[in-house]
């Protein structure tokens, strides 16, 4: 099994292992990554973007290696060379165009933690170009040299070429900006959302499962629970009961790979070294599981053949009890802990975030089972919601708070 992590999440991990966490999100990113260490053959890490940012990512990779992680576990991903780089951009741009045709994101304001450290302050050029082309409707041809330069993703962001090289996509963005009344102040948020969407589409192009940073995942959770609140208020029904009656299991987004989080957090770990030792020990114990069960996860996961999807689900189901038994901890309260699920996030809530019309559609179609089952957007959205409803965010909160302080965090930052 192979995953892809973005720059933001890896810099977040770097803060945790350097004993300088700025929030519990840094700790969550570290724990998420160590779960991948246990179950993945490879974790691809983006070394894209400006040199200063890339150097910071490489420092984190080297630091993890010095703490004992296998050197070959982390795969450094960069852009392809030559003409293939343009072809890849064109594929992703074309996919983005059709994704946004019906589900364009609603824009607000972005915070600095939406980007790796230092990246936010490097966006002035990109903001000015987008302001001129997307808000003032200046022809993108005026920036042909910048579009070409953006392929290097350094002084000019890769997002410039991605958004402006395809004239249809450019017009789509202008159209939606006009509808939303977008101003220059919204452009940084647009870049953040576009970058996250790009990472998701890039990982799909590479047949890798994308793991967003904890900050983005938290936004996804907020979106999910907002939908649930709307559901309760509008229909005056419990969504879990309703979904059970519709016999929707959410399995598409909730594959049965056991969680090893309880192992990582056992006995009150107080250092990154302790967490990594535990992760590597668990990794050794589940070698057979990676080699025999998860080895073709990506091929089956990204296959368009429904038979492959069923095969993957069955493989995971059949091995679940065995692997859970291997990871079980004896004695004390740990023996009573229920296994959660492997920590990754399939969803970027493109449907939900695209337009509040999705809320109306969702509520309308849930009243009619036949229509609901024949509306793919609402069906998939519901699958995502079930996935989030099954999570218990508070289960490990106290332990994560303690770990945040043990790793050097400021207690005052928890007082929110």
* pLDDT of residue 282 exceeding 50: yes
Q: Which long-range contacts (CB under 8 A, 24 or more apart) does 304-312 make?
A: 312/255
Give the DSSP H or E segment for 330.
none
Q: Give the pLDDT score at 387.
A: 58
Q: Give the Cα separation of 345 and 88 in Å (integer).
A: 24
Residue indicated by tokens 């969504």: 239
Q: Give the pLDDT score at 90.
A: 96
Q: Which residue has the higher pLDDT, 399 or 276?
A: 276
* pLDDT of residue 335 exceeding 70: no
Phi and psi for 215 in degrees, rounded to 5? -65, -45
Alpha helices in 346-394 (DSSP H): 350-354, 357-366, 369-373, 376-389
- What torsion, rounded to 10 degrees, do the Cα atoms 273, 279, 284, 286 define? 180
What percent of the chain shows pLDDT beyond 90? 40
What percent of the chain shows pLDDT beyond 70? 75
- The residues, any chain, with a CB within 8 Å of residue 343's CB and separated by 6 or more, are 31, 32, 35, 36, 259, 261
Q: Give the pLDDT score at 339.
A: 45
Average pLDDT over residues 242-246: 63
Lowest mean pLDDT among 45-54, 74-83, 160-169, 239-248: 239-248
- Helix/strand/coil for 239: helix
* pLDDT of residue 242 exceeding 60: yes
Q: Give the pLDDT score at 267.
A: 75
**β-bridge mates for residue 4, sequence order:** 44, 210
Q: Best-predicted range by mean pLDDT among 13-27, 213-227, 258-272?
A: 13-27
Q: Give the pLDDT score at 303.
A: 87
Q: Best-predicted range by mean pLDDT among 60-74, 189-203, 214-228, 265-279?
A: 60-74
| Orientation of helix 272-285 relative to helix 24-39, angle to 10° | 20
Residue indicated by tokens 């302001």: 131
CA atoms within 13 A on the CB side of 143: 28
**42-46 and 2-5 as β-strands: parallel, antiparallel, unpaired?**
parallel
Q: Best-predicted range by mean pLDDT among 35-44, 318-327, 344-353?
A: 35-44
Q: Which residue has the higher pLDDT, 328 or 136?
A: 136
pLDDT, one tens digit per residue, over 110-154 is 767 667 667 777 888 899 999 999 999 999 999 999 999 999 988
Radius of gyration of the chain (CA): 22
* pLDDT of residue 346 exceeding 50: no
């Amino acid at each position: 099994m192979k995953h892809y992590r973005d720059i933001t999440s890896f810099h977040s991990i770097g803060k945790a292992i350097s004993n300088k966490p700025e929030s519990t999100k840094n700790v969550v990113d570290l724990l998420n990554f160590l779960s991948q260490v246990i179950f993945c053959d490879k974790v691809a890490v983006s070394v894209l973007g400006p040199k200063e940012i890339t150097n910071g990512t490489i420092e984190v990779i080297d630091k993890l290696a010095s703490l004992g992680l296998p050197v070959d576990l982390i795969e450094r991903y960069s852009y392809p060379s030559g003409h293939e780089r343009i072809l890849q951009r064109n594929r992703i741009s074309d996919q983005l165009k059709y994704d946004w045709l019906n589900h364009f994101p609603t824009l607000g304001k972005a915070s600095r933690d939406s980007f790796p450290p230092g990246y936010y302050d490097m966006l002035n050029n990109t903001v000015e170009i987008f302001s001129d082309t997307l808000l003032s409707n200046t022809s993108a041809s005026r920036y042909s040299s910048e579009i070409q330069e953006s392929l290097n993703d350094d002084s000019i962001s890769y997002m410039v070429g991605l958004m402006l090289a395809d004239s249809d996509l450019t017009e789509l963005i202008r159209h939606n900006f006009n509808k939303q009344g977008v101003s220059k102040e919204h452009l940084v948020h647009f870049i953040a959302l576009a970058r996250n969407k790009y990472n998701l589409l890039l990982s799909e192009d590479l047949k890798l499962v994308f793991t967003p940073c904890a900050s983005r995942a938290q936004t996804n959770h907020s979106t999910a629970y907002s939908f649930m609140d709307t559901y309760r208020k509008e229909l005056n029904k419990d969504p879990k009961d309703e979904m059970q009656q519709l016999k929707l299991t959410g399995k598409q987004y909730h594959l049965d790979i056991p969680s090893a989080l309880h192992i990582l957090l056992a006995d009150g770990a107080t250092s990154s070294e302790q967490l990594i030792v535990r992760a590597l020990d668990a990794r050794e114990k589940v070698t057979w599981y990676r080699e025999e069960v998860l080895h073709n996860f990506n091929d089956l996961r990204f296959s368009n053949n429904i038979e492959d999807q069923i095969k993957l689900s069955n493989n995971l189901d059949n091995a679940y009890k065995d692997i859970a038994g291997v990871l079980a901890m004896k004695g004390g309260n740990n023996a009573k802990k229920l296994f959660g699920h492997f920590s990754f996030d399939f969803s970027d809530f493109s449907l939900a975030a695209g337009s509040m019309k999705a809320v109306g559609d969702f509520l309308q179609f849930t009243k009619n089972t036949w229509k609901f089952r024949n509306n793919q957007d609402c069906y998939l959205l519901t699958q995502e919601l079930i996935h989030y409803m099954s999570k218990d965010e508070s289960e490990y909160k106290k332990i994560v708070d303690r770990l945040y302080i043990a790793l050097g965090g400021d207690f005052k930052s928890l007082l929110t």
